[in-house]
Amino acid sequence: MNPDTLFTGARILGAGVDLVGDLLVLDGRIADFGPALGRPDGAETVDARDLVLCPGLVDMRAALGEPGFEYRETIESAALAAAAGGITTLAALPDTNPVIDDPALVHLLRTRGEETGSLTILPYGAVTRGCKGEELAEIGLLREAGAIAFTDGGKAVASTRLMRLALSYARGFDARIVQHPEDPSLAAGGCATESEQATRLGLPGIPAAAEAILVARDLRLVQLTGGSIHFAHVSTAEALALIRQAKDRGLAVTCDTAPPYFDLNETAIGNFRTYSKLSPPLRKEADRQAVAAALADGTIDAVASDHQPRDADDKRLPFALASPGGCGLATLLGVTLAQVHNGALALPAAIELLTVRPAALLGTDAGRIAKGAVADLCLFAPDRIWQVTAGALPGKAQNTPFDGRPLEGVVLGTWKRGRRVFG
């Protein structure tokens, strides 16, 4: 049995909830919340004065490494890092080895998540067999097995015909296609955003337009098929403008971004700093500002960690040869809160971008503060300062582009179904 818990004096934040008071957890669920609740016999008390209590974060895009890349990350190590970051629900990308294009693997990932006791794993199914972009995976069977949406992870579905078929077929199963929006032919061989900086460093560039070009194509396919699409880690002003216009026209389009794209720009690669080699690459300052503005105006539907674990050998290479990707579980909340501290985003809006809004996109009832809801909770000190240090982060992956970055917002405790799993 999980212990009953009374949180006292917290600022309780959730969709439609913003109050200072107490929250009571009984039998793993939220029994009540409000001012000055009584403490039941035997319940533990957590003094949450001057702290924020919100739903456990819902991360809608993360690579776990397992199966196949356990040297980078395992489900166990990712669960530890997620709990330390306040994350209790995570959508796992399918581009593992083997690829999640078999219903048995969907079941396996869900089961492995339950076995951690701290993390619900919601698996994506692959759009194409082997994530190779050649033929559709068994979308219907994967959906029946519990795949929450369909994506080829860090690879774009390049074939226009195949993307049309995927959108049409997924529509029949009330499923969403999640696209990595980058035209592969324009991005081929590139490793940084095409710019004066890339030229100065002698790095092959990827034009920022590669993102908008694929977004424009796929929006036209959504209009043609009536399907539903979600664009992952959107990073450019041009792509966001297209998505904003499509939403105004009523198309079934949503998008997320990741902390590097509203907190960092291309200068973070510095003198060939491979921890800052990401996919998509870091952009110019004008694009970073556009992403931050799109968080505030609602164009962006969610913030995801875009956790891409790499080991030292993946990154200890010349910049052009190093693997792209940054770990992001432990820094997801802190970097998002930077937008609150600089006045660009209200705290309730930031929490919604990390909880109820991604939960809605994933079709899960996580991410809520409500009577009777499962007590997945995150308690954090919004103004407490810490510094990101590669090598000292929780979990196995340490390849953070935020190495050395001071952040405000420290997770003090995480609860899964009413049981404390961190802090």
The CA distance from 171 to 421, in Å, is 38
165 forms beta bridges with none
How does pLDDT run across 364-400, given as a tens digit for each residue?
Answer: 999 999 999 999 999 999 999 999 999 999 999 999 9
**Domains of the chain: which residue ranges?**
56-367+394-403
The CA distance from 415 to 308, in Å, is 24
Structure tokens belonging to residue 232? 């992952």
The CA distance from 309 to 340, in Å, is 27
pLDDT value of position 41? 85
Q: Which helix (H) or strand (E) holds 179?
A: strand 177-179
Q: What is the mean pLDDT of the chain?
A: 97
Select from 397, 421, 379, 411 the least CA-distant residue to 75: 397
Count of Cβ atoms closer than 10 Å to residue 218 Cβ? 25
Amino acid letter, residue 351: I
The CA distance from 340 to 212, in Å, is 28
158 within 8 A of 184, measured Cβ to Cβ: yes
Which residues are tagged catalytic? 306
On the question of pLDDT at 141 being above 90, the answer is yes
pLDDT value of position 36? 85
Count of Cβ atoms closer than 10 Å to residue 89 Cβ? 26
DSSP of 86-108, one letter per residue? Answer: TEEEEEEPS-SSS-S-SHHHHHH
The CA distance from 209 to 175, in Å, is 28
How does pLDDT run across 288-341, given as a tens digit for each residue?
Answer: 999 999 999 999 999 999 999 999 999 999 999 999 999 999 999 999 999 999
Cα 254 to chain centroid, rounded: 14
On the question of pLDDT at 133 being above 80, the answer is yes
Q: What is the mean pLDDT of residues 199-211?
A: 97
403 within 8 A of 125, measured Cβ to Cβ: no
CATH number of 56-367+394-403: 3.20.20.140
In three-state secondary structure terms, 55 is strand
On the question of pLDDT at 120 being above 80, the answer is yes
pLDDT value of position 39? 84
pLDDT value of position 1? 61
112 within 8 A of 123, measured Cβ to Cβ: no
pTM above 0.95, yes or no: yes
